[in-house]
């Protein structure tokens, strides 16, 4: 690229980079600095307290319980969502369409993809309010109404500490699956049919086609989805805050790190302490992303 081309590109990138620096990098840097202060949101000059906030955080049982909930979601949300999305993408888009041993797409696949994608379009707060009604423990609850009609006791999906977090996980999977169905369907459509034909001639059946052709060529797409879902599992604030009892209850059974950060900042006015929580959450997310990318590193597969 010549000097004129570089200037042209730099001119287009200057404003977006400036806005990114002002609204993302600078606030993040401020949060890191405030994590070492006792700022309560009203004092003009934050008092420097060193690492006191982080020492206090080590003894905060509620925060580490919230971190455990995030870790559970991190372990379950990506694999469950990806497996379900891959299954639906294969059912809708097929693999090796028209190839012996392959699987053809179903009729109306485009319509089904729109239906699957629709939950992803809904605002997270709207989804949380919707599932508050679905999980109601009386006859107006969509899940409990049939149980009550059959003479069973209603399930406290949001009031039972042993069940509430699983209800949150179910909502997260329900909302996320549709996006990955569309993503994986696009990946399937990009795989050349010749590869399926060659595998089918060698005697590969549907399972072998998936394990030997489809999955390896979708690996980069699955990897990106895994990282995105992992980061999403560390930031489930809206669903927990809107849908669950006591905004993270009952008895802190569904609280997550982001909820505790918000609670300490805007309910208890412990902004310095909340920033320390935010720093820990950032390190969790960055560490997961780096680890996931390193573990899945491999030579890039190219096909035409």
Split at pLDDT 50, 70, 90, the class of 101 is very low
Beta strands in 78-145 (DSSP E): none
Q: What predicted TM-score, i.e. pTM, was given to this entire model?
A: 0.86
Winning range, highest mean pLDDT, from 4-18, 86-100, 160-174, 225-239: 160-174
Cα angle vertex 128, ends 75, 63, to 5°? 50
Torsion of CA 144, 148, 151, 152, to 10 degrees: 30
User: What are the sequence ranges of the domains in the chain?
Assistant: 51-295
CATH 3.40.50.1000 fits 51-295, yes or no: no
Q: What is the pLDDT of residue 97?
A: 52
Tokens of 254: 């569904």
What are the tens digits of pLDDT across the range 121-160?
888 999 999 999 999 988 888 999 998 998 888 999 999 9
What are the tens digits of pLDDT across the range 74-97?
999 999 999 999 989 888 876 655
Q: What is the pLDDT of residue 161?
A: 92
**Cβ proximity of 184 and 89 under 8 Å:** yes
**Cβ proximity of 165 and 69 under 8 Å:** yes
Q: What is the pLDDT of residue 102?
A: 46
Alpha-carbon span 158 to 168, nearest angstrom: 9
- What is the average pLDDT score of the chain? 85
Burial (CB count within 10 angstroms: exposed 0-12, middle 13-18, buried 19+), residue 162? exposed
Please state whether the peptide bond connecting residue 250 to the residue before it is cis, i.e. omega within 30 degrees of 0: yes
Closest by CA position to 284, among listed 27, 57, 19? 57
Q: Which residue has the higher pLDDT, 254 or 300?
A: 254
Residue 46 has pLDDT above 90, yes or no: no
Q: Which residue has the higher pLDDT, 294 or 159?
A: 159
Q: What is the pLDDT of residue 41?
A: 79
96 torsion bin: left (phi>0), alpha (psi -120 to 50), beta (else):
left
């Amino acid at each position: 690229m010549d000097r004129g081309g570089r200037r042209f590109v730099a001119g287009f990138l200057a404003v977006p980079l400036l806005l990114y620096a002002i609204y993302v990098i600078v606030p993040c840097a401020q949060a890191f600095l405030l994590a070492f202060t006792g700022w309560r949101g009203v004092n003009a000059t934050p008092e420097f307290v060193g690492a006191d906030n982080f020492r206090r955080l080590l003894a905060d049982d509620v925060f580490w319980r919230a971190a455990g909930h995030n870790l559970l979601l991190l372990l379950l949300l990506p694999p469950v969502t990806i497996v379900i999305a891959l299954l639906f993408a294969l059912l809708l888009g097929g693999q090796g369409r028209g190839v012996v041993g392959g699987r053809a797409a179903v009729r109306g696949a485009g319509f089904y993809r729109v239906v699957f994608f629709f939950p992803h379009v809904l605002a997270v707060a709207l989804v949380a309010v919707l599932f508050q009604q679905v999980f109601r423990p009386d006859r107006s609850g969509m899940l409990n109404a049939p149980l009550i009609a059959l003479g069973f006791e209603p399930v406290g999906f949001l009031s039972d500490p042993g069940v509430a977090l699983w209800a949150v996980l179910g909502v997260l999977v329900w909302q996320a699956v549709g996006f990955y169905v569309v993503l994986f369907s696009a990946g399937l459509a990009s795989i050349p049919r010749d590869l399926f034909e060659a595998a089918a001639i060698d005697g590969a059946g549907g399972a072998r086609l998936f394990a030997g052709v489809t999955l390896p060529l979708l690996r980069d797409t699955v990897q990106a989805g895994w990282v995105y879902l992992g980061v999403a599992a560390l930031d489930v604030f809206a669903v927990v805050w809107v849908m669950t009892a006591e905004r993270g209850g009952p008895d802190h059974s569904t609280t997550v790190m982001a909820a505790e950060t918000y609670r300490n900042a805007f309910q208890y006015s412990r902004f310095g302490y909340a920033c320390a929580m935010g720093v820990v959450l950032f390190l969790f997310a960055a560490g997961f992303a780096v680890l996931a990318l390193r573990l899945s590193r491999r030579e890039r597969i190219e096909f035409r």
